[in-house]
Chains A and B, each alone.
Chain A
Amino acid sequence: DAKTTQPPSMDCAEGRAANLPCNHSTISGNEYVYWYRQIHSQGPQYIIHGLKNNETNEMASLIITEDRKSSTLILPHATLRDTAVYYCIVRLRYQTGANNLFFGTGTRLTVIP
């Protein structure tokens, strides 16, 4: 799977948008971009994923550049409960059997009151 690069930490003011970048310059054409987050002492939580189009759900928006070499996860109105480590992962979607989620170091987002 392609490697990803994320900033180790970011701060965001409560109520403002949090924009978390991810570089994945070696992503292949059939690999998806997935985002998970892990709140302290909990298991990872799926947020959103995409292939090449921008995606939005009730939690966040995902913006993928046209060349697919980078993406940004946007939390439109960050709350204190969004404080967590956010992981950007690129993976093949249509793959059975073997594990296809490799967690890097992620970005530790701290939402400040």
Chain B
Amino acid sequence: GIQVEQSPPDLILQEGANSTLRCNFSDSVNNLQWFHQNPWGQLINLFYIPSGTKQNGRLSATTVATERYSLLYISSSQTTDSGVYFCAAYSGGSNYKLTFGKGTLLTVNP
């Protein structure tokens, strides 16, 4: 099955800083999603982005499907951005399951 790797595993920022999170995947994808898991454990949809670029406020994402990677950009980070960011991908198969990376733990300090 598809392999999903995220980097860096941990990231510590000062409030106001920018950051880039990376997701590499081993196969072509039909679905690629970015999630934020907040400290309460809720998994929040950020982007559905199997290809192209999207923006939502201070967050944006780009997937270059031909090169098998996706990037999540966080600008002007806030303490509420803290948590784990997951990339998940589906590349085919009858069960449509998402394969998750191990996540990036982001800590934003005031």
A and B co-occur in one complex: no
Residues of A at the B interface (CB closer than 8 Å) are none
